Structure 1
Amino acid sequence: MFSFKSLDSDLAKSLSCPGAPTFIEVQLEDLTESPFTDGESWNPTACVLPAKYQQFADKVRNFEVYEDDVWIITFPKCGTTWTQEMVWLVDHDLDYSTAKRVNLNRRSVYLEIGCIAHNLPVDSLANAANLPRPRHIKSHLPLALLPKQLWTVKPKLVYVSRNPKDVAVSYLHHYQMIMGYRGSKENFLEGLLTDKIVYCPQISHALDFWRLHNEQNVLFLTYEQMKRDLRTVLERVCGFFGKQYTNEQLDELVYHLSFDQMKKNPATNNVDMVAGAMQMNGRAGEKFKFMRKGEIGDHKTELSAETIANFDKFIERELIGSDFRFDQ
């Protein structure tokens, strides 16, 4: 079903870190169960993942899916936690009591974390499988590596994209602190521009889901839409889930989902997860907040003009032939 290729280039070695010491490219070989019904060909690109994933690729692909599942899928650092909280509350009748009492990572389980994190002995597939229904499951996997039943069972699927330049900045900080990366900023950015960072290729990750954005069970959002007009996005999300709330209820939800409120909410700010990851990966005692800034355009303060130009060229090249464009 899959083929695996070890990555042993100098760049791959320079990207090694305690959370992911070695990497592979995972290529789906069995294309008989395509998610697309438009008749167009599908040639998924190999995905870069920690070598540990080779043990779990088939298990993830064969993971049982239910019609009442809710899946939140993003490339890393695209507002995933924010989206998880929003979607869980909309789908659970604005149950703030449970949302504040039960950690989000228990309410909306990260499917493959135990399959990729080198030092994490957690069976996240079992955790996801055993969630009470309707299950909320998050994943950063590209379309080709996700459970094949998603395309036959057709549960609700929410996808969020974000401008790759802002992703680059946020992902670098994440890689350094959560995964323990101590290599250079330049090597990390080169890794993104050559699609050699975990979960890459980045652009095709969004493009594959964009091809599905007209499907009734798929809701395609962008981080920038959520930042600029969350109220309007919430109306779309409510419509997607067949929910109706009053203007006052939606205003309260907007407040609950604001960056400042999410950042200080122990159920959503991932303080415990960050501390545990930093302890395992050699960064214990250093300062890092999972929710750093939550801004649009932060790349302008952290990337050089040359790097920004290189990303612009990279994005333009990868989008050739598609009508999709990243928000700015």
Structure 2
Amino acid sequence: MASERANEGPCGVRVEEVSEDELRGLVAMGFKGYTRVKTLIRVYPGRILLLPRYLALADRLKNFEFRKDDIVVMTYPKCGTTWMQELVWGLTRPGNLRAADSVPLNQRSFFLEVDILTNLEAQLNDATLLERFRAACGEAAKPEDGIILQMTQAAPTHSPRVIKTHLTFPLLNCDLLDKCKVIYVTRDARDACVSYHHHNRLISTYQYEGTFHHFAHAYMDGDVIYGDQWDHTASAWARRHHPNLHIVSYEALQQDINACLAKIVSFLRLQLSDAQIREVAEHADFSNMKTRDSKAPLTFSGPVRASEGSFYRKGGTGGWEAVATPALTTTMNSWIEKRSKEAGFSLPLHLG
């Protein structure tokens, strides 16, 4: 049950604090990382579960000024975001792919709202991050206003920014689609759930230590960070006819990446040959991305629990059957059928 302490957020969206009982219930379910926050919040529309630092940065995120040559990769978590970031970065820089060998992806492509997932004190203790922040934004910039957010704003204008976000359209600038291109990636809910379970175990911000069974139920109830997958995708579905929105599925990319990339090239109005498209596809092949990460590793919004493996796990489809019981599969399939009927679309959604 939600807390009665609900109000209009700083950007006009409705913000609701979860109750102490609900927070304790999530911790008991296995989300041990939530013991380090005083509360969680839900943001409407979409009933999006977020960490409380969102409140301090909501207005800046809502009013973030996108540029006309920005390319925004928007997804629900674990739906192919990192893959699409690398693909788009490569498509816009086909002659400079080797730069990825020494510069990690999250320094070549910006995670717009990552500050809300991060403890400010931890950021202030990261000397390398602060050095990059000061170099990009100057001594007068305030870390509490969002370190990565301000670095995204300050990025040079001579090349297109590739910006990643898991926020939905209502939480971002209303001129986003009128100003720049957005690629929205979807994925089968079962595989996304499995991957998000691993992510929640890996990242100490969440420090999930419960069973997959309990995580899957939290996932279906929208009680994971960023909320319900269908509610998230609904914001893209409602805008599906906008010429600056391209919706593609993780599964379609797996099935025929060159065909998908050709459509993305056309959508972005780029000029690439078939050979260049194949080169970018190979550049962003899972095994190549994993190899590069060992040389120029990603940095995360919180410490990584090495005992849970690595960020680059399998990069495939069909992982649900290996971890779910028949009873859980029946429950998940019933939920998928119900949510599909309610929303008017099925996942994975592919309109590209």
TM-score, normalization by structure 2: 0.80
* Conservation of the 8 A alpha-carbon contact between 1:4 and 1:26: yes
* Conservation of the 8 A alpha-carbon contact between 2:220 and 2:228: no
Distance 1:308 1:56 in 2: 38
* Conservation of the 8 A alpha-carbon contact between 1:89 and 1:99: no
Tell me whether 1:7 sits opposite 2:49 in the alignment.
no
Distance 1:185 1:273 in 2: 26
Task: Tell me which residue corresponds to 1:154.
Answer: 179
Matched residue count: 305
Q: 1:188 to 1:228 in 2, by over 3 A?
A: same
Task: Tell me which residue corresponds to 1:257.
Answer: 284
* Conservation of the 8 A alpha-carbon contact between 1:62 and 1:149: no
Displacement of 1:272 in angstroms is: 4.5
* Conservation of the 8 A alpha-carbon contact between 1:77 and 1:167: yes
Distance 1:322 1:52 in 2: 30
Q: 1:219 to 1:301 in 2, by over 3 A?
A: same
* Conservation of the 8 A alpha-carbon contact between 1:195 and 1:201: yes
Matches within 5 A, 1:160-239: 160-179=185-204, 180-239=207-266
Which of 316, 320, 328 is the matching residue for 2:337? 316
Distance 2:220 2:343 in 1: 19
* Conservation of the 8 A alpha-carbon contact between 1:84 and 1:108: yes
Aligned-residue Cα RMSD (Å) equals 2.3
Deviates more, 1:199-208 or 1:159-168: 199-208
Distance 1:318 1:85 in 2: 31
Q: AA paired with 1:132?
A: P
Distance 1:144 1:312 in 2: 29
Q: Point out where structure 1 has 5 or more consecutive residues left out of the alignment.
A: 28-43
Distance 1:322 1:7 in 2: 25
Q: AA paired with 2:53?
A: K
Distance 1:118 1:16 in 2: 17
Q: AA paired with 2:176?
A: L
* Conservation of the 8 A alpha-carbon contact between 1:91 and 1:241: no
Matches within 5 A, 1:105-184: 105-118=106-119, 120-121=122-123, 123-133=147-157, 134-151=160-177, 153-179=178-204, 180-184=207-211
Distance 2:296 2:252 in 1: 23
Task: Tell me which residue corresponds to 1:57.
Answer: 58
Distance 1:117 1:184 in 2: 25
* Conservation of the 8 A alpha-carbon contact between 1:74 and 1:159: yes
Deviates more, 1:310-319 or 1:67-76: 310-319
State the Cα deviation string for residues 309-328 of structure 1 (Å, max 9, x = none).
21222122122255532249
State the Cα deviation string for residues 265-309 of structure 1 (Å, max 9, x = none).
138x974425x8335xxx3x4251111111111111111122122
* Conservation of the 8 A alpha-carbon contact between 1:11 and 1:187: no
TM-score, normalization by structure 1: 0.85
Distance 2:342 2:199 in 1: 32
Task: Tell me which residue corresponds to 1:78.
Answer: 79
Distance 2:324 2:114 in 1: 29
Displacement of 1:206 in angstroms is: 1.2
Tell me whether 1:246 sits opposite 2:246 in the alignment.
no
Distance 1:56 1:323 in 2: 32
* Conservation of the 8 A alpha-carbon contact between 1:271 and 1:289: no
Q: AA paired with 1:12?
A: L
Task: Tell me which residue corresponds to 2:98.
Answer: 97
Q: 1:6 to 1:265 in 2, by over 3 A?
A: same
Tell me whether 1:66 sits opposite 2:58 in the alignment.
no
Secondary structure in 2 matching 1:200 = coil
Distance 2:69 2:276 in 1: 24
Task: Tell me which residue corresponds to 2:127.
Answer: none
Task: Tell me which residue corresponds to 1:30.
Answer: none
Q: Which has the higher helix share?
A: 2
Displacement of 1:4 in angstroms is: 2.1
Which of 1, 11, 18 is the matching residue for 2:33? 18
